Amino acid sequence: MKRRLFLSALPSAAMWPLTAAAQPKTAVVGILEVGDPGPMVGLLRQGLRDRGYVEGQNIRLEIRTPDASRTLRELAEELVRLNVDVIVAKFTPAVRAAKNATATIPIVMAPAGAPVETGLIAALARPGGNVTGLSGTAAEIGGKRIEVIREILPGVSRLGVLANTADPFTKPFLDEMQSAGASVGVQVRPFMVSGSGEFAAAFSAMRDEGVGGVILQPSLTVNTAADMALAHRLPSFGVFRSTVEAGALMSYSARLEDLYREAAVYVDRILKGAKPADLPVQQPTRFELVINLKTAKALSLTVPPALLARADEVIE
């Protein structure tokens, strides 16, 4: 009798490992974010949900943001040690840190500026290596940015740029705007900083040199910079909408929300077996002009009606 009971139990016991093996693998996505916290993680989550990924069931997000105690390099190396399936990196310094940390784990730019010029990829159509994703074109539209700044500051002859010494994107970012400025008689002067601890000295130098406005590079903590610019009564111009929401006067850029959502498409394709080297890098197709009228009023500036009429969003 006992022998029959033992044998009858064998089929279910033998099947147990097969049932366990059939459970879906939980994908692990590392997220490396630099600059001010923004909607990237939330929109990426939404995009992943739209594609059937549910946190706690078939996907896990490992989010890392540098602070005073942990650098981008250390955080990128930590994600590699966790053996994540893919790394989503926001802005060029984060993509560079991830690329330096691994040549095998796929990396999605969400986004990065001038990825060919900074050596992150070989070409937009065939990026090669383990990096693909979105290009932000913040450098390429530098001329348009100078143009709209001159509409709101028609007499400006010198603009400052609060620029990040640690960002590989800084050179193409500055080159494009300095070239555009020179063509219309505006000197574009960089003020190099490595973090928010150097902002005060940079803004003092801007005041001494008589710049008429300052452009804020997005890989810095631009929310803090926007506050400091307002305190110095200096019009500040962000690259992205979030900076204007934080108090900058104006921004002209690609719609970051579109890029964040599209990053989820890349993650999905990679998790399903696509190779980053074969996935073309996308460039934005929609751009937006955002103006903060509250900041304009605080600076006693009048925004031309024609510029207001063209704005995609006006913050009052």
The overall average pLDDT reported for the chain is 89
Confidence of residue 297 (pLDDT cuts 50, 70, 90): very high
Strand-pairing partners, residue 288, are 253
pLDDT attached to residue 39: 84
Does position 29 have pLDDT exceeding 50, yes or no? yes
C-alpha torsion sign, points 38, 97, 30, 75: negative
Does position 103 have pLDDT exceeding 80, yes or no? yes
In the CATH scheme, what is the code of domain 142-254+288-315?
A: 3.40.50.2300
Distance CA 216, CA 135 (A): 18
* φ, ψ (nearest 5 deg) of residue 243: -65, -40
Per-residue pLDDT tens for 169-186? 899 889 988 998 999 999
| Torsion region of 113: left, alpha or beta (phi above 0 gives left; psi -120 to 50 gives alpha) | beta
Fold match, 24-137+255-286 / 142-254+288-315: yes
pLDDT attached to residue 21: 46
| Torsion region of 75: left, alpha or beta (phi above 0 gives left; psi -120 to 50 gives alpha) | alpha
Kindly report the three-state secondary structure assignment for every residue of the chain. Answer: CHHHHHHHHHHHHHHHHHHHHCCCCCEEEEEECCCCCCCHHHHHHHHHHHCCCCECCCEEEEEECCCCCCCHHHHHHHHHHCCCCEEEECCHHHHHHHHHHCCCCCEEEEEECCCCCCCCCCCCCCCCCCEEEEECCCCCCHHHHHHHHHHHCCCCCEEEEEEECCCCCHHHHHHHHHHHHHHCCCEEEEEEECCHHHHHHHHHHHHHHCCCEEEECCCCCHHHHHHHHHHCCCCEEECCHHHHHCCCCEEEEECHHHHHHHHHHHHHHHHCCCCHHHCCCECCCCEEEEEEHHHHHHCCCCCCHHHHHHCCEEEC
pLDDT attached to residue 24: 63
Listed by start position, the domains of the chain span 24-137+255-286, 142-254+288-315
105-125 average pLDDT score: 94
Confidence of residue 77 (pLDDT cuts 50, 70, 90): very high
Q: What percent of the chain has pLDDT over 70?
A: 91
The model carries a pTM of 0.81
C-alpha radius of gyration, the chain, whole number? 24
In the CATH scheme, what is the code of domain 24-137+255-286?
A: 3.40.50.2300
Confidence of residue 152 (pLDDT cuts 50, 70, 90): very high
Per-residue pLDDT tens for 119-135? 999 999 999 999 999 99
Confidence of residue 237 (pLDDT cuts 50, 70, 90): very high
Q: Which two tokens stand for residue 250?
A: 């104006």
